[in-house]
Amino acid sequence: MLSFPRLLGNGRTAVGTWVKLPTIESVELMAVAGFDFVVLDLEHSPMSMETAATLTAVSAGRGVVPLVRVPDHSPAWIQRSLDAGASGVLVPHVDSDEQARAVAGAARFEPDGSRGVGPTSRAGNWGLTPMLDYLATGHEVAVIAQIESDAGVRSARAIAEGGRVDALFVGPADLSVSLGMPADSAEVVERIHHVVEQCKAASRPCGIAIGADPIRAAALADEGFDFVMLSNDATILGSGAAELVARFRACAP
């Protein structure tokens, strides 16, 4: 099983991207491009759970760590994503340690949580993995809490120190909108740095997503982020196509 925590422990900043297009080729192209991980987006795309399960298998087969962003805190979404073989889940809008503990518990088997036992799923190699080995995978999946509000920022230390989630992830867009300020404003930047500092103090990895700006992404890695996400498959396709057309229009008679 590909492990997100082990990916973060290899000594370099991991780079990933969102996958919003419900196509196998999209995941394959991101793998060929060299991304370390992909996040299949069930929150902000029309992708179904069935498609996400297929893309999870394709990603793992291509050697790229597959994560799933679930649409909400429902234990059912978390369990189905992990049963499908995801290496972990990103959970949006985690605003408190209590919420962090609840979503982490949904990803862990008893006695550490309440995840249902389903060894006949992909996570258990369709029943071929010995039960004890299957149950051990519950300690390998990553639960990543998205910090997207001022309440989440204020709770970042408690969430990071709670010991239940494996990493925190800053959502700059939602955070800036919740504050009514531009994403590059001093107030938003200060809150983002605060989250990173709290993660470092608690020895928890921290990630962030930005647009198609690899220079800025490298700078964020230098500022202490352990994983960064660059753009998404749909925007990468659209921006590449738009650039081609614009260059043609500029040169054509």
Domain CATH for 222: 3.20.20.60
The pLDDT assigned to 162 comes to 85
pLDDT at residue 211 tops 70: yes
Tell me 116's DSSP state.
Answer: P
**pLDDT average, residue stretch 3-14:** 90
The contacts of residue 121 (CB under 8 Å, 6+ apart) are 83, 84, 85
DSSP state of 111: T
Q: Which residues contact 200 (CB under 8 A, 6 or more apart)?
A: 206, 224
pLDDT of residue 2: 76
Sign of CA dihedral 97, 102, 107, 112: positive
Judge whether 139 counts as a catalytic residue.
no
Task: Tally the domains of the chain.
Answer: 1
pLDDT tens readout for residues 50-81: 999 999 999 999 999 999 999 999 999 999 99
* Percentage of the chain exceeding pLDDT 90: 92
Other beta carbons within 10 angstroms of residue 124's beta carbon come to 20
**Does 249 score more than 90 pLDDT?**
yes
- Could you say which of 44, 73, 193, 194 is catalytic? 44
State pTM to two decimals. Answer: 0.95
Q: What is the pLDDT of residues 171-197, one digit of tens each?
A: 999 999 999 999 889 999 999 999 999
pLDDT 10s digits, 148-173: 999 999 999 999 998 799 999 999 99
Q: According to the model, what pLDDT value does residue 163 have?
A: 77
**Closest alpha carbon to 209 in 35, 49, 60, 52:** 35
Q: Indicate if the pLDDT at residue 1 is higher than 90.
A: no
Q: Which of 154, 161, 115, 144 is nearest to 207 (CA)?
A: 144
Q: What is the pLDDT of residue 85?
A: 96
> Residue 143 has what pLDDT?
97
How far, in Å, CA of 187 to CA of 228, rounded? 21
Structural domain that includes position 236: 4-251
> What single string gives the DSSP state of each residue in 149-201?
SHHHHHTHHHHHHTSS-SEEEE-HHHHHHHHTS-TTSHHHHHHHHHHHHHHHH
Q: Look at residue 14 and tell me whether its pLDDT is greater than 80.
A: yes
Q: What is the pLDDT of residue 10?
A: 83
Q: What is the pLDDT of residues 19-60, one digit of tens each?
A: 999 999 999 999 999 999 999 999 999 999 999 999 999 999
Structure tokens at 51: 């498609």
Amino acid at 17: T
If one compares 242 and 183, the residue with the highest pLDDT of the two is: 242
